[in-house]
Structure 1
Amino acid sequence: MAQPPQKAFPVSWDQFHRDARALAWRLAAAGPFKAIVCITRGGLVPAAIVARELDVRLIETVCVASYHDYRNQGELTVLKGIAESVTGLGAEGEGVLVIDDLTDTGKTAQIVRNMLPKAHFAAIYAKPAGRPVIDTFVTEVSQDTWIYFPWDMGLVYQEPITAGARG
């Protein structure tokens, strides 16, 4: 089993919105895109922002469950595939943009890439193990970092980074 994440990377709503717009900025040159497929649940919010920025109206979801107990990635399960309205657009996903919030191990993206091999894959955040599976990302974090997304957090006290080192 992989080493559990040791570093925390909290992301505020403001930062996430800026990062999603930065992703759209990078993707503008890679388009135009006929449709967006967001990997749920994490890809829903960035897909909405990117769709607005790139003026894409056809948005579809693919539902893949991988984190069954929040911290540990388990067996990947496709809960909902991609609708024919998107898969029928182009040969093997050509002209389709696939969006997720994060590529961690790359396993989820690889499952979707098998469905749409010629689609353009993008994530806001990328870890080294997942980078080879995607085409565009904004911020790389180390493999031992856990990203706390704004929809996962409430307002609570944060320990200083060095507090854990004092023992």
Structure 2
Amino acid sequence: MAEPTSNKAFPVSWDQFHRDARALAWRLAEKGPFEAIVCITRGGLVPAAIICRELGLRLIETVCVASYHDYKNQSELKVLKDVAPSIKAIGDGKGRGVLVVDDLTDTGKTARVVREMLPNAHFATVYAKPAGVPTVDTFITEVSQDTWIYFPWDMGLAYVEPIAKDHKG
């Protein structure tokens, strides 16, 4: 997905992201128990760390899927690292008892690829766009499809133009 031309931006601070990830952990506590967590890198690393702490999970795995190769345009998905066989063997051998975490589901393409690996896992994201909502089981905040989320690890402090360009004052 190309960065939207509508200039709809949803900047997320570290504090807000931490609160949202903890809120996700609260919701997930009722959905478990989970034996392991798989975070989709790189975006899933930060919420997975928070959720692991909150839910007391110690078995942590990554699945590495690249979709944004230049940070703005989504292109062909590439699985760089699959889930370890020991994780796939948990529960029913299809992911039951495994929690998969990412920061965002945008189009749902990444979630669909990972769901093929772990079809019975519980998928959770902090944020979701309408096209991606059907691919996850639990999320905290939905934003419109044409909104670009700026995560705290992608930002620095800088001046931001007012929404109204003719703003006086």
Instruction: Quote how far apart the aligned CAs of 1:138 are.
Output: 0.3
- CA deviations on 1:116-142 (whole Å, 9 max, x unpaired) are 000000000000000000000000000
Scaled by the length of structure 1, the TM-score of the pair is: 0.95
Give the structure with the larger helix fraction: 1
Using the TM superposition, give the Cα deviation of residue 28 of structure 1 relative to its aligned residue in structure 2, in angstroms: 0.5
Identity of aligned residues (%): 75
Task: Tell me which stretches of 4 or more aligned residues in structure 1 moved more than 4 Å.
Answer: none
Does residue 64 (structure 1) correspond to residue 65 (structure 2)? The answer is: yes
* C-alpha distance in structure 1 between counterparts of 2:18 and 2:145, whole Å: 23
Residues 4-13 or 26-35, more deviating: 4-13
Please state whether the residue corresponding to 1:163 is helix, strand or coil.
Answer: coil
| Corresponding residue for residue 160 of structure 1 | 162
The answer as to whether partners of 1:39 and 1:62 remain within 8 angstroms in 2 is yes
Measured after TM superposition, the shift of residue 163 of structure 1 is 2.4
- Name the amino acid aligned to 1:112: V
Looking at structure 2, the residues matched to 115 and 85 of structure 1 have their Cα atoms a distance apart, in angstroms, of: 13
- What is the number of residues matched between the two proteins? 164
Query: In the alignment, is the contact (CA less than 8 A) between 1:106 and 1:131 conserved in 2?
Result: yes
Q: What is the one-letter code of the residue matched to 2:132?
A: G
User: How much is the aligned-residue C-alpha RMSD, in angstroms?
Assistant: 1.4
Query: Residue 115 of structure 2 is aligned with which of 77, 99, 113?
Result: 113
**Runs of 5+ in structure 2 lacking a partner?**
none
Distance in 2 between residues matched to 1:82 and 1:52, nearest whole Å: 21
Give the CA deviation at 1:26. Answer: 0.5
Alignment check: 8 A CA contact 1:3 1:144 kept: no
Alpha carbons of structure 1 residues 13 and 88: separation in structure 2 relative to 1, 3 Å: same
TM-score, length-scaled by structure 2: 0.94
Instruction: Indicate how the Cα distance of structure 1 residues 3 and 32 shifts in structure 2: closer, same or farther if over 3 A, else same.
Output: same
Alpha-carbon distance, 1:160 to partner: 1.6
Task: Give 1:82 deviation, angstroms.
Answer: 0.3
Query: Within 2, Cα distance between the matches of 1:69 and 1:3?
Result: 10
Secondary structure of the 1:42 match is coil
Residue of structure 2 in register with 1:145 after alignment:
147
Name the residue aligned to 2:129. Answer: 127
Where 1:97 maps in the other structure, the secondary structure is strand
Cα displacement (A) at 1:162: 2.1
